[in-house]
Structure 1
Amino acid sequence: MPAPLREPAAVTPFCGGAYEGALRELVIAYKDHARYGLRRPLARMLADVIAHLAEQLPARPEQLLLVPIPSAPAAVRRRGHDSLLSLACLAAALLRRRGQDVAVGALLQQTRAVLDSAGLSAAERWRNLEGALKVRAARVGAGVHGGVVVVDDVITTGASAAEAVRALRRAGLTPFAVAAVAATPRRFATPVAGVLPRRGLSPG
């Protein structure tokens, strides 16, 4: 059973595999080298993770709302698209084909510029992202229905996921899980059955 996020409350992370080897190469090629043909296999993995976590709920919501963590504007400009939002949208489409009611909500936005996390220590990543996200008021005002799942591509320290959860909670929303394509081995043991991490997210 995976451990919950330490902050701000019990939110369970699930991932498709360890961020190493072939999976790491796939993610980097898709995100940073415009290998858009890799979007489908990565989205399929993300869809499997989301389907798995939904099965863990004692009472399944009528609809799942996937909330991707927003990419930095500079990264979107450099890549030419929001890689995670695109991945979440395709994963939702794949799940709808399986008969699940799934929507994607780009509810989160950055409140300030943040540093590139590459090269930062775990503690620096948490400080860098603290208070950096908020919920778009207009999106919440339009109504949010269903169980909320935070979506990330790679969980490293858990700082991005934890900040997303905090921002959603401040807006009165209650995410019940975090779904990611991959997670760094130092944070997670080998996933069970390809999707289930044995350790949770924690700073430090």
Structure 2
Amino acid sequence: MPMRRCEYLDWLVFTRQPRPYDARILRLLEAIAQTPTGAPLVAYVLRRWPRIVWGRPPVGNAFAFPWPLETIIMRDAGDEATNLEVLAHELAHLARWRGHLVGSLEQEYDAYLTGVRVRAEWEGLDWRDPNGPAARRWPLLFGHEASPQRFMAWVRSRNAFYALLPWNQPRTLPEVVRALITQAGFGVKMLLKRA
């Protein structure tokens, strides 16, 4: 007797998955999959099975290591809505940008926008309404005041690392090498300060 689609998905998730996910991460993935913005991110997870774990990321609340590691390390915020937004943010980095080999504000903007859209949809807020609750809650991303330039200024003021990121994602080999040297140099200086 052939398996129904749901049974097949359950079988795939629980028997063929290279790394079993923590039950709370599975619940977050299920919630993300139920949103229009999040469904493609979870489809990526079902294709690639990146490692997603709770722990101490090297910076911030979470970090997505690039291919070939394809690993997300998340600090537990203790709040389901925040964890959902952070996981969607990091999945956007992996699914659309292949992780953080070199960063850009273009990449961060996309990841922040994606994470907040998933959270808004999960909370039942219409982020497309320029006068709605989502626009009031996240004015730099939605509504009349939203703009990538305002977002760039805000994110650069938050963190010294973001201040050195270019807006456009480095794509050519010379751009990637320059960005890698600059960003790795910043990382080494931060590690030396902490030591």
TM-score computed with the length of structure 2 as normaliser: 0.23
* Structure with larger RCO (C-alpha < 8 A, sep 6+): 1
More helix per residue: 1 or 2? Answer: 2
Larger radius of gyration: 2
